[in-house]
């Protein structure tokens, strides 16, 4: 009997040890991660870069308290940029390199790709995406909660109207369709609420209710702002917000300023929620835009990418630079400007390293680099190679290695290749009244107070250095001493730029260096990447997607047409999984009762 009890006690000890290992692995020693992604925000439309036409005090406070990512690169458009963030791969390696996914095309991020949400979920995180998806939805398998996210609240397609949550495809002989979901279920209860406020409220509610001691939080707040809405009213903001910028003469720019202001308020509210929950001191905060802003042309918003050349959907710096900021108590160099080139695809391995998640980067075939150590300690010695894009449909290449950038070909026949943005002068009447007391405007925000309360050193250095940090974050073209510039005409021949000296891409060095080793090496690398490129996934319009066929909703029409799903049974495909989970829970319940009874029996001996 004693021998039997000893065996039981030994088994119980092992069981309890395993339980302790499991629970400690799920404790909140890992940092919460919050990514706030703006949509089509102009590089110069955050005031920490130096602009004063309208201020972004909450984003600026985050910037000066944290680390400003001066040389953050993205893909030039929404879908490819998001695919790079989600997979850690260049869009050319996932077939996402050409244009975007319109709501009416039946394709998406390939299902064999592992997403950042899957990585973090597998390592104990609760994963949520609030807002825009834009990685395909013609089949339910493409949608967020099938790609590693525990929760999705938002829209599946390219954009929606800011109030009625519709996307209008009548120009394609399709109908107007509603696009907003709570996980997989259609959600119409918030129609009429300004979308930026709606997404902000959802994010802050999640933060307030989530138990980060049980599971750390991975929150991807994928904002609509300041992307344009439907063509009939592309720029939308609450009238009282627009009125704050009445000093701006251009009504479109005035409304755009209000849209960015609501985005800035959203950033502030999320940081307030993290502070109120008491988890800010164990959180990594990241703010960035998915690409440069569209100043003119399709979905134009008056966005400013000053002083860069080009805009969204172009090979130029104005299309692929993002104004990014990261903050965390884990960083050793808060209150600085980091000049290291970093690509949006680097975020997956970098954030994984920050969370002590070991990745097999070779098996995953990642293009992104783990730059966590460089970021944490503030050194910028990594020569980053970045394939900005190789698009053989638009017929252009944009590639960089270190300070060298190679361009051949362009988009839209070059009509948006110029320097499209200007900045208001300091003596202009169209300056934000708060700019006269800029530093005080930043330091009076709750964001500044929350973040500097956690890092008093950053508070001291930041308050003294706001002016210097702002100067360091600005882009200086540095070509004042060059008397002659060689123009780049990418539809005529290749172009080469020294981005360190000429980030505004004025002086084409290709002809003067074409016989040298630099150009030859760049051409070899471009040829190498072209050989390894995945064919574009794009497909033509499918008229069966028309929302009029599905009660006015944009939905996973290929599944509906195939008879494997419908809107009225959105979660039906999970029934078998639910049965398996219920069986597992029942088994665990019997196991728990056995352990409890065994403990009772052991205690009596």
Residue 162: which region, alpha, beta or left (left: phi > 0; alpha: psi -120 to 50)? alpha
Residues forming beta bridges with residue 499, ordered by sequence position: none
Q: Which tokens belong to 590?
A: 């019997």
**Residues 6 or more apart from 539 whose CB is under 8 A from it?**
105, 106, 107
Cis peptide before 207 (omega within 30 of 0): no
Q: Which tokens belong to 122?
A: 């597998």
* Residue 134 among the catalytic residues: yes
Sheet with 283-289: list strands edge to edge. 185-186, 181-182, 151-155, 126-132, 217-222, 32-38, 283-289, 321-327, 67-73, 336-343
In Å, how far from its chain's centre is CA 484? Answer: 39
Cα 100 to Cα 75, 105, 108, 325, 561: the distances in Å are 11, 10, 10, 25, 24
Inter-residue contact 31 to 328 (CB < 8 Å)? yes
Q: Which tokens belong to 207?
A: 């933060």
Annotated active-site residue in 93, 123, 134, 506: 134
Cα angle for residues 552, 170, 563 (degrees, 5° grid): 40
Inter-residue contact 284 to 330 (CB < 8 Å)? yes
Residues forming beta bridges with residue 73, ordered by sequence position: 321, 343
Rounded CA separation 573/556 (Å): 13
* Residue 98 among the catalytic residues: no
Q: Which tokens belong to 129?
A: 């995406």
Rounded CA separation 220/570 (Å): 23
The DSSP code sequence of 315-356 is: SSHHHHEEEEEEE-TT-S--SEEEEEEEEGGGHHHHHHHHTT
Inter-residue contact 212 to 582 (CB < 8 Å)? no
Annotated active-site residue in 78, 488, 495, 545: 78
Dihedral, CA of residue 203, residue 206, residue 208 and residue 213, to nearest 10: -130
For 537, the 3-state DSSP assignment is coil
**Residue closest to 347 by CA, chosen among 318, 333, 326, 320:** 326
Return the sign of the alpha-carbon dihedral for residues 142, 145, 146, 150: positive
Residue with tokens 């129609």: 191
Rounded CA separation 290/41 (Å): 8
Where in the sequence numbering do the catalytic residues fall?
78, 134
């Amino acid at each position: 009997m004693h021998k039997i009890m000893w065996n039981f006690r030994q088994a119980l000890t092992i069981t309890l040890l395993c339980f302790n290992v499991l629970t400690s692995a799920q404790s909140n020693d890992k940092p919460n991660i919050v990514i706030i992604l703006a949509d089509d925000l102009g590089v110069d439309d955050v005031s920490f870069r130096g602009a004063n036409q309208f201020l972004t005090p909450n984003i600026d406070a985050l910037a000066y308290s944290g680390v400003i990512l001066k040389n953050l690169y993205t893909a030039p458009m929404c879908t490819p940029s998001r695919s790079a963030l989600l997979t850690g791969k260049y869009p050319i390696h996932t077939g996402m390199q050409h244009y975007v996914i319109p709501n009416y095309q039946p394709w998406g991020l390939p299902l064999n790709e592992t997403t950042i949400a899957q990585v973090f979920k597998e390592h104990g995180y609760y994963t949520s995406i609030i807002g825009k998806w834009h990685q395909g939805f013609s089949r339910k398998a493409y949608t967020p909660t099938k790609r590693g996210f525990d929760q999705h609240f938002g829209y599946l397609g390219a954009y929606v109207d800011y109030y009625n949550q519709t996307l209008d495809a009548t120009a394609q002989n399709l109908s107007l369709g509603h696009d907003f979901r709570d996980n997989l279920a259609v959600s119409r209860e918030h129609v009429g609420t300004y979308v930026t406020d709606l997404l902000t409220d959802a994010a802050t509610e999640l933060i307030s209710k989530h138990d980060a001691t049980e599971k750390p939080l991975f929150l991807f707040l994928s904002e609509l702002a300041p992307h344009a809405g439907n063509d009939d009213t592309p720029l939308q903001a609450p009238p009282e917000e627009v009125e704050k910028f009445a000093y701006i003469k251009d009504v479109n720019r005035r409304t755009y300023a209000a849209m960015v202001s609501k985005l800035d308020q959203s950033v502030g509210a999320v940081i307030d929620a993290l502070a109120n929950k008491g988890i800010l001191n164990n959180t990594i905060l990241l703010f960035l835009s998915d690409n440069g802003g569209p100043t003119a042309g399709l979905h134009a918003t008056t966005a400013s990418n000053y002083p860069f050349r080009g805009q969204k959907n172009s090979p130029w710096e104005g299309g692929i630079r993002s104004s990014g900021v990261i903050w965390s108590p884990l960083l050793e160099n808060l209150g600085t400007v980091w000049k290291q080139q970093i690509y949006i695809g680097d975020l997956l391995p970098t954030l994984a390293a920050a969370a002590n998640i070991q990745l097999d980067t070779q098996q995953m075939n990642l293009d992104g680099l783990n730059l966590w150590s460089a970021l944490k300690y503030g050194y910028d010695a990594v020569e980053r190679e970045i394939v900005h894009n190789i698009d053989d449909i638009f017929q252009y290449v944009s590639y960089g290695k270190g300070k060298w950038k190679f361009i051949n070909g362009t988009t839209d026949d070059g009509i948006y290749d110029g320097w499209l943005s200007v900045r208001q002068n300091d003596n202009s009447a169209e300056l934000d009244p708060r700019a006269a007391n800029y530093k005080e405007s930043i330091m009076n925000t709750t964001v500044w107070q929350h973040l500097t309360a956690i890092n008093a050193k950053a508070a001291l250095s930041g308050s003294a250095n706001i002016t210097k940090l702002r100067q360091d974050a600005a882009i200086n073209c540095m070509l004042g001493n060059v008397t002659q510039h060689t123009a780049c005409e990418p539809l005529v021949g290749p172009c080469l730029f020294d981005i360190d000296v000429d980030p505004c891409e004025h002086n084409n060095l290709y002809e003067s260096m074409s016989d040298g080793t630099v150009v030859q090496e760049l051409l070899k690398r471009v040829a190498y990447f072209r050989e390894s490129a995945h064919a574009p996934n794009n497909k033509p319009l499918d008229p069966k997607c028309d929302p009029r066929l599905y009660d006015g909703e944009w939905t996973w029409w290929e599944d509906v047409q195939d008879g494997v799903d419908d809107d009225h049974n959105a979660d039906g495909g999970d029934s078998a999984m639910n049965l398996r989970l219920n069986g597992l829970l029942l088994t665990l319940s019997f196991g728990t009762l056995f352990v409890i009874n065994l403990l009772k029996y052991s205690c009596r001996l």
